[in-house]
Structure 1
């Protein structure tokens, strides 16, 4: 198979799997597509703008050998699909965990976990702010979690942390493919002058924060909409 179709094929296969799974009667995520879709759309737009900016500044670049040449601005179609897949998968798994068990084992610890993350990310983000990707990934996630804790006071973050832990290894595999772990070349290239140049295999450390924010933002929007319309209807 021509390399330029490989990434697109994997995107479509992954998307098909998670969409079909979300139609299962035991996990009827499709019934929540309206509110969840609002969270997905808002998050996709935000991250497309982020990646557009980084691509324009030369912080990220894409190997055209692995793309079909269709772009959204500076971003290949394959990267946009990757964003959609990660968001949709995260939301579906989060929903499925809620369906499987009502007990949230991390609920008693969610504020401690979030507080530690905020402190560590703020310190590291400010210290390395001259590295654009590092500063942006660390500080944006820290700011988002701070807003969430102080303003929204979520009761679902324990469940989200469980979701992220469950998906961590699959996400590493998918991101490893994008960063050259399984193919001869990097589909996405990162300018190491703008990150810490610390990698999990081939994956920049900052990608963990990027994907975490990519997953937590739509869940937060979705849960806020659920609460808003619930209390509005009472």
Structure 2
């Protein structure tokens, strides 16, 4: 079981959402092409980031918990992570948006963006010597500025609320990856390269990293939906 731990995490993260995608009330399966395009495009810069950080010892993987298949220095399970996690997140967004009116949260778009950007800029400037902290703050800042001021999306508040709900899944998944319930973490971090502030065993940067990845997946998912159905 141990060499399949990370693979099992990916599987358990995605399987329930995948099965319910075919439910007649949801029919998320009709949006698989839009999701695949969005997740692959989003994954490209994040995987490049992952490869570089792994190669330079910012973080690394305990191969005792992986199958041993390596591509560009990353376990194959890490590559699957960039499909499985976004699938569950986008599926959850899709369902909550379909069955509940959460548009009221969009009234907080500007507040969320300005507050987040100010915090990220300050942390980035104060901790520019910690590469994981700095890059996370920079990418999050640029993402929010682009979405709010250039793409002018109107759903940041709703997406932020749903991401907060998704934290219920974030803690067990990332918790196991960072060592909760295991003899040693699957993902290890260089303590000199991040704030060393943890949510249980999870570096706080992971939550911000996940938030940015989530926003970009939603943005591209909606973009590819509209390219097929302009009224969506």
Q: Same fold (TM over 0.5)?
A: yes
Give runs of aligned pairs for residues 73-222 of structure 1, distance below 5 A: 73-222=72-221
1:134–1:196 contact (8 Å) kept in structure 2: yes
Query: Secondary structure at 1:105's aligned position in 2?
Result: helix
Q: Which digits, 9 at most, give the CA deviation of each residue in 1:134-162, with x for residues without a partner?
A: 00011101111001111011112222112
State the match for 1:70 in structure 2.
69
The offset of 1:105, in angstroms, is 2.3
2:106–2:155 contact (8 Å) kept in structure 1: yes
Range moving further from structure 2, 30-39 or 221-230? 221-230
The offset of 1:35, in angstroms, is 1.9
Q: Number of matched residues?
A: 231
Which aligned segments of 4 or more residues in structure 1 are displaced greater than 6 angstroms? Answer: none
For residues 227 and 128 of structure 2, the distance between their equivalents in structure 1, rounded to whole angstroms, comes to: 36
Unaligned runs of 5+ in 2: none
1:176–1:202 contact (8 Å) kept in structure 2: yes
For residues 181 and 17 of structure 1, the distance between their equivalents in structure 2, rounded to whole angstroms, comes to: 22
For residues 55 and 31 of structure 2, the distance between their equivalents in structure 1, rounded to whole angstroms, comes to: 35
TM-score by length of 1: 0.93
For residues 226 and 145 of structure 2, the distance between their equivalents in structure 1, rounded to whole angstroms, comes to: 20
The offset of 1:15, in angstroms, is 2.0
Q: Which digits, 9 at most, give the CA deviation of each residue in 1:52-95, with x for residues without a partner?
A: 01001110111111111001211111222222222111111111
1:126–1:139 contact (8 Å) kept in structure 2: no
